[in-house]
């Protein structure tokens, strides 16, 4: 039998009490497990596994099934009726179901990317003027109102990440435009806590100079709580006490 025009559409199963007839010419046996649905020369065939292997040369002759993953999906009673009496409609339902799942997956991925983009924009957006970003008298500020990190850009926002292991990190924008991820509070071994692809630890700055802020945001959010964005130093101190 020529396999070049044949396509294995699905492998399904039904309840043993609801067997269907194998449609291979000359067979007619009732089958209920590993029922192969094949499109062959424009015709839809419902075949038992034995007849399928005989017809096409082996059980793997047509490769993987196009729908259902080839796991022997158990049909509902309604789907069983379609298999026996309207196979084309059953195949159409399989196709529609997979299109819907693909669309849902694509929408989910798009939503995750949109959230990450939103966080990155919030992290890198300008905040309040410098005078408001450096209020005197807050914990970690000197008499002149210098922030905890003297190298930071005073008008930039902060991103705060609280991880499930109890550690916390703050994304701080350097005056040179680089993003630095600082442990807050500092803990022993912080310079070996994150994977190298996120950035390099800088002992002088006291944090990781990030190679890609989007990748860092995604990584940290997988390990802890959603990122909190603070517009200035006052909000950061108050929001993380």
Q: Is the pTM of this model over 0.75?
A: no
Q: Are 152 and 47 within one domain? A: no
- Quick one: tokens of 165? 């292991």
Regarding whether 149 and 53 lie in a shared domain, the answer is no
Same domain, 208 and 144: yes
Pair 72, 133 in one domain: no
Average of per-residue pLDDT values in the chain = 81
What range does the domain containing 169 cover? 125-239
pLDDT for res 137? 32
| pLDDT 10s digits, 90-138 | 999 988 988 888 888 887 777 767 666 655 665 555 544 443 443 333 3
DSSP summary character for residue 235: H
**Domain match, 136 and 222 both:** yes
User: What pLDDT was estimated at residue 89?
Assistant: 93
Strands 168-173 and 207-210: unpaired
Burial of 151 (0-12, 13-18, 19+ CB in 10 A): middle
CB within 8 Å of 211: residues ≥ 6 apart:
197, 198, 199, 200
Split into its structural domains, the chain has a count of: 2
Same domain? 86 vs 146: no
């Amino acid at each position: 039998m020529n396999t070049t025009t044949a396509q294995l559409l699905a492998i399904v199963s039904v309840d043993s009490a609801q067997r269907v007839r194998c449609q291979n010419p000359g067979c007619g046996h009732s089958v209920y497990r590993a029922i192969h649905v094949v499109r062959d020369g424009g015709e839809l065939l419902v075949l038992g596994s034995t007849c399928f292997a005989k017809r096409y040369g082996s059980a793997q002759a047509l490769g993987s099934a196009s729908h259902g993953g080839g796991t022997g999906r158990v049909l509902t009673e309604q789907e069983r009726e379609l298999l026996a009496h309207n196979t084309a409609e059953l195949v159409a339902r399989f196709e529609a179901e997979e299109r819907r799942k693909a669309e849902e997956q694509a929408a989910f991925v798009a939503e995750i990317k949109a959230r990450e983009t939103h966080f990155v924009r919030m992290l890198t957006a300008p905040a309040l003027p410098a005078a408001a970003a450096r209020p005197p008298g807050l914990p970690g500020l000197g008499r002149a109102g210098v922030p905890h990190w003297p190298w930071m850009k005073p008008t930039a926002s902060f991103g705060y990440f609280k991880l499930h292991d109890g550690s916390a990190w703050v994304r701080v924008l350097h005056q040179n435009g680089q993003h630095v991820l600082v442990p807050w509070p500092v803990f022993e071994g912080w310079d070996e806590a994150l994977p190298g692809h996120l950035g390099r630890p800088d002992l002088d700055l006291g944090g990781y100079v990030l190679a890609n802020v989007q990748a860092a945001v995604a990584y940290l959010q997988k390990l802890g709580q959603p990122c909190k964005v603070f517009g200035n130093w006052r909000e950061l101190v108050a929001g993380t006490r």
